[in-house]
Amino acid sequence: MEGTRKRLDVPDAVCEIAKRLEDSGYETWAVGGAVRDALLGGYRSDWDLATAARPGTVRKLFRPSYPIGIQFGTVGVRGSDGRVYEVTTFRRDIETDGRHAVVEYAATIEEDLARRDFTVNAVAYHPLHHTFLDPFAGREDLERRVLRCVGEPAQRFAEDYLRVLRGLRFAGRYGLEIEPATWEALTAAMPNLPRLSAERIREEILKLLAAPGASSGLALYRTSGALAVVVPELADLGDGEWEEILYAIDGLPAHRGHLRLVALLAPARSRIEDLMMRLRFSNAEMRDTLELRAALAVPVDVAGDVVGARRWLRDVGPERAHDTLRLHFARARARGAGPTERRDLASRARLVLQVLRRGDPVTVEDLAIDGHDLKALGLQPGPEFRRILERCLEVAIGRPELNQRETLLDYVREELCR
């Protein structure tokens, strides 16, 4: 008999979905991250259900329902709370190539739990009977803060090498000690990581960055050798530099994953375009990262100087001001900047933000004139327009009161048309 020591706080909407399935004769369990997180308390993963019902049946029982990953047996079901929950038919691994596991439907929850990666992820909870099914003693590992593979570690990693990176993420996130046999197989698996698709590696890194414990997870990337394989550009940094990156990441909120990505990649000595391209980041992610890194390189030396503050905003772009300042704070802390330096940075940031809020002109779009006005003056459109508007901006940055249509047009006529 499985233990019933603890009752988990399963949302009503999840219990209702489970009840409809069970009432129709299909055994249904809560599984995976939510059970793990509910046992630990203080974390929140989505509630997922595993069921004996096949996807077609699930779709008939719940309307509307969504074929989220229908080829893997996953159907999205909208709960009475308006949220969509994943309901997945019991599965087992049948064939594997290390890039991902090939699965087929299974008859029992026990088989389904056996295909899961780590014991802490292989605990099932019955939301109606409030009983646990925990064949691999995942709860005990959670209590003792141990990360352990389900089954034979080398084999489990060989089935799907992404488990290596997942393991590092979970260990970092929950402060788990990786059990020796699991650690040995995990480090031995490193040469095989390049077999994973770039997309899966990228998604895994983004997941790690967007969760608590990201710096511990990254520290494990380095000690295990994973960093040298998946982001070799960062592996040759010195210990001090690496520590600074980790501290900076800790100083940025987990939900700002893209800022943490900049903190991670900006110190790389090689071209981060190449690295991001290799990991198949989107063009938008790449642009965002490169722009923020360039913005970070503009010194915030604007002490008590509004004109300097406007120039800084022009150079980094007003829409990037908040993010750039956040990164500066995180990096200053990570560098071990003393209270004086930090107070100083804070006062400069206050000035910049004041200028930003006040809406002083800091981009050519803020000017009282535009290209149409220049055309009306009889000027030929072309790259020259940009140069003229930038000169006008320089004037307006120095004295915002001159940012008036007539004043700027006079200036263009007198100074720039000749």
Residue ranges in contact with Mg ion by CB under 5 A: 33, 45
Of the pair 114, 409, the CB lying nearest ligand ATP is at 114
Tokens describing residue 32: 């995976």
In terms of CB distance, is 30 or 229 closer to ligand ATP? 30
Answer for which of 119, 121, 182, 215 binds ligand ATP (CB under 6 A) is: 121
Residue 119's binding partner out of Mg ion, ligand ATP, none, with CB under 5 to 8 Å set by partner kind: none
Q: Looking up tokens 């509004």, which residue turns up?
A: 306
Q: Which does 222 bind (CB under 5 to 8 A by kind): ligand ATP, Mg ion, none?
A: none
The structure tokens listed for 106 are 């299974």
The DSSP annotation for 117-147 comes to SBGGG--EE-TTT--EE-TT-HHHHHHTTEE
Tell me the sheet residues that pair with 118: 149
The owner of tokens 């249509």 is 405
- Which of residues 207 and 278 has its CB atom nearest to Mg ion in the complex? 207
Q: How far is the CB of 394 from Mg ion (least distance, A)?
A: 52
Q: What is the 3-state secondary structure (H, E, C) of 273-333?
A: HHHHHHCCCCHHHHHHHHHHHHHHCCCCCCCCCHHHHHHHHHHHCHHHHHHHHHHHHHHHH
Q: How far apart are CA 41 and CA 148, in angstroms?
A: 20
Strand partners, 82: none
Q: Is 65 in the site for ligand ATP (CB under 6 A)?
A: no
3-state secondary structure of 171: helix
Contact flag: residue 162 with ligand ATP (CB under 6 A): yes
Q: How far is residue 400's CA from residue 389's CA, in Å, rounded to a whole number?
A: 14
Contact positions with ligand ATP (CB under 6 A) in 23-62:
32-33, 45
- Give the phi and the psi of residue 270 in degrees, each rounded to 5: -90, 175
By beta carbon distance, the residue nearest ligand ATP is 33
Select from ligand ATP, Mg ion, none the partner in contact with residue 117, using the beta carbon and a kind-dependent cut-off of 5 to 8 Å.
Answer: ligand ATP
Kindly state the smallest distance separating residue 207's Cβ from Mg ion, in Å: 9
CB of 116 vs ligand ATP, minimal distance in Å: 3
The neighbouring-strand residues paired with 31 are: 48
Contact track, ligand ATP, 200-229, x by CB under 6 A: -------x----------------------
Q: Which of 45, 192 has the CB closer to Mg ion?
A: 45
> Interface with ligand ATP by CB under 6 A: which residues?
32-33, 45, 116-117, 121-122, 160, 162-163, 207
